[in-house]
Structure 1
């Protein structure tokens, strides 16, 4: 199965290169372009599954390109913009963009948005699994953790959005199942200042992660507290399997 082809229309070479690297790492096939003219030429010979369009292209508008694409078909569009004007976002969505993300963006959030849009168009299956990927999928109650693509989703395929810190914390626990981890070790893992935010930082992250992965966050089955010692991720008899 071919990887999903993702067009990138951005006149900034550094951003194009970064997006190419990010998409490649996440098992997409990136197709970089500098302008609308490049897109019109490439589109004739390349069957794209989705296109990322920068709002402010050199000497032209990404919105106009999005409008042109939408007038001719149903190619999924995700707009990227370095401007925080809410009006730009509204206009972008009104002209037919499927999603809109402000620069600088969280790389994992962009990948999550791309996958979500592809799924809405019924193209989720066009994203292939990497070799050995099935071996790195863990069942966590009603959730599935894909440790290759760093994605947590429900069993019916809906992604559970985690921040970088939340996922890193989960990943850290998964590598140390049924082991009590002191706060100082968790803080070292997420790179926080050990002298200023020791208790509060971890407590807040743990609370947020519980809300996303536990059926009843107030009575966690997996991510449990050991008072005076730290936290433990309980997997025994919990349905967490390779």
Structure 2
């Protein structure tokens, strides 16, 4: 399958290099560009499947480029920015961006969002690389690829997880069908939780359930044992009592 061509418009050379490496590793064909002039020079020679645009280009606006791209055609656009201003996000989406990702971003999340936008817009999607069965753990309709550190559904589509969510899931899968006290989860994820309180574990559990359970309010896999902790049931035929 031909690798989707992803344009990268960012004036920071280090960010362009990092994005080129990330996209290449995930079976995309990156086309790095430093600004609007580079984009205009390349667009007549290269048919892009999607464009990543930094909102704050040096001396020019990523929004201007996004508007120009949208006026010219229907190439999907994902905006990248370090700003947290909600107004910028709204403006970016209104001018035609298909998604909006804040820097610093989780690499797996960015890749998953790019794939999602390509699927929604009918563009080719980079195939996930295959790995031996011993690197995969299946539960219900989902599969964890431990080599690539990703979660996939039964159609081999990636389900986006944050780093903390993936670490939590991976830890549960290393101790399947075993009641794990909250204190053990805090110890495992401690480095990620220094700025949070104890209840963060519960928040992560809720977020993970929304992504892996058919009915998060009645979880089959990630269950609570009141007064004891949590248990990850890999075989849903087991008793949930």
User: TM-score of the superposition, structure 2-length normalised?
Assistant: 0.80
Report how far residue 225 of structure 1 moved. Answer: 3.6
Question: Residue 75 in 1 paired to residue 54 in 2?
Answer: no
CA distance in 2, matches of 1:232, 1:140: 14
Report how far residue 141 of structure 1 moved. Answer: 2.9
2:165 is matched with 166
Report how far residue 4 of structure 1 moved. Answer: 2.0
- Would the aligned equivalents of 1:187 and 1:193 in 2 still touch at CA under 8 Å? no
How does 1:17-28 map onto structure 2 within 5 Å? 17-28=17-28
CA distance in 2, matches of 1:126, 1:80: 20
| Aligned length, in residue pairs | 238
1:62 is matched with 62
How does 1:48-127 map onto structure 2 within 5 Å? 48-123=48-123, 125-127=124-126
- Would the aligned equivalents of 2:193 and 2:200 in 1 still touch at CA under 8 Å? no
User: What CA deviation, in whole Å up to 9, does each residue of 1:88-134 have, x standing for no partner?
Assistant: 323322222111223233333322221111111222x5302214277
User: What CA deviation, in whole Å up to 9, does each residue of 1:154-207 have, x standing for no partner?
Assistant: 546776543321121112222332344343432232234899978533333223
User: What CA deviation, in whole Å up to 9, does each residue of 1:139-166 have, x standing for no partner?
Assistant: 5334454545544455467765433211
- Would the aligned equivalents of 1:9 and 1:33 in 2 still touch at CA under 8 Å? yes
Change (3 A) 1:90 1:157: farther
CA distance in 2, matches of 1:63, 1:196: 34
Q: Does the residue aligned with 1:126 lie in a helix, a strand or coil?
A: coil
CA distance in 1, matches of 2:236, 2:94: 49
When structure 1 is superposed on structure 2, of 133-142 and 228-237 the one drifting more is 133-142
Report how far residue 28 of structure 1 moved. Answer: 2.4
- Would the aligned equivalents of 2:112 and 2:159 in 1 still touch at CA under 8 Å? no
Change (3 A) 1:217 1:35: closer
| Superposed CA RMSD | 3.2
2:9 is matched with 9
CA distance in 1, matches of 2:96, 2:12: 23
Change (3 A) 1:120 1:10: same
- Would the aligned equivalents of 2:9 and 2:34 in 1 still touch at CA under 8 Å? yes
User: TM-score of the superposition, structure 1-length normalised?
Assistant: 0.80
- Would the aligned equivalents of 2:177 and 2:234 in 1 still touch at CA under 8 Å? yes
2:37 is matched with 37
Change (3 A) 1:173 1:78: same
Q: Does the residue aligned with 2:100 lie in a helix, a strand or coil?
A: strand
- Would the aligned equivalents of 1:52 and 1:77 in 2 still touch at CA under 8 Å? yes
CA distance in 1, matches of 2:2, 2:80: 25
Change (3 A) 1:92 1:210: closer
CA distance in 2, matches of 1:121, 1:149: 25
Report how far residue 222 of structure 1 moved. Answer: 1.5
User: What CA deviation, in whole Å up to 9, does each residue of 1:20-58 have, x standing for no partner?
Assistant: 233233332222111112122223333321110111212
